[in-house]
Structure 1
Amino acid sequence: MKYFGTVKSFDTIKGHGEIKPEAGGDMLRFERSAFSWENNSVPTVGQRLSYDVGTTKERQPCALNLATI
C-alpha cells in the first residue's frame, strides 16, 4: 500500500532524513537507499513523496521505495 508524506529533513552527508505522513502519526526515518530515482538527486524539505512502510534492522518503522509524485 502506498502512503504519502512531506519531507521534513534530509542530511546529505549522513544520507538519511524524515518524512511526515499525511495521514498523521509519527515521522518516519528513511535512508538514501530508499529512493526509487537517481541517488545523486536528493529530496528537498517540503517535497511530497509516496512511500511504503517497512522496518529497520532495529525493527523500527521506516519509509521505503520513496517516489516523486
Structure 2
Amino acid sequence: MTYYGKIKNYDSSIGKGRITPENGGDILAFRKSDLKDEDSAPQLDQRYGYDVKDADNGKRYAVNVHLQAETANTVKEQARNQAG
C-alpha cells in the first residue's frame, strides 16, 4: 500500500531524511537508496508517496520513496485508496 507525506528534512551529505505522514503517525526515516530517483535530492515540504517497511528492530521505515505530482484527479484517487 502506498502512503503519502511531506519531506520533513533531508541531509544530502549523509543521504538520510525523514518524511511526515499525511494521515498522522510517527515520522519515518528513509535513505537515499530508498528514493526512486536517487539523482534528485528531495526538497522540504514536497509531497512524496512511499511504502512502509518494518525492520527487525521494530522500527518502521519509508521505502520506494517517489515524488508525487499533485493534480485534482491524483489527489482524489489517493484519498480513495487510503480510505480503503
Give TM-score, length-normalised by structure 2: 0.75
Q: Deviations over 1:1-47 (max 9, x none)?
A: 0000000000111110000000101100000000111x221100000
Greater share of helix: 2
Point out 4+ residue stretches in structure 1 off by more than 3 angstroms. Answer: 56-59
Matches within 5 A, 1:1-69: 1-37=1-37, 39-56=38-55, 58-69=57-68
What are structure 2's unaligned runs of at least 5 residues?
Answer: 69-84
| Matched AA of 1:24 | G
Displacement, 1:60?
A: 1.2
Find the structure with the greater CA-based Rg.
2
Greater share of strand: 1
Q: Please give the alpha-carbon distance, in whole angstroms, between the structure 1 residues aligned to 2:4 and 2:62.
A: 10
| Matched AA of 1:3 | Y
Q: Which has the higher contact order (CA 8 A, sep 6+)?
A: 1
Identity in percent = 37
Q: Secondary structure at the match of 1:42?
A: coil
Q: Please give the alpha-carbon distance, in whole angstroms, between the structure 1 residues aligned to 2:36 and 2:14.
A: 18
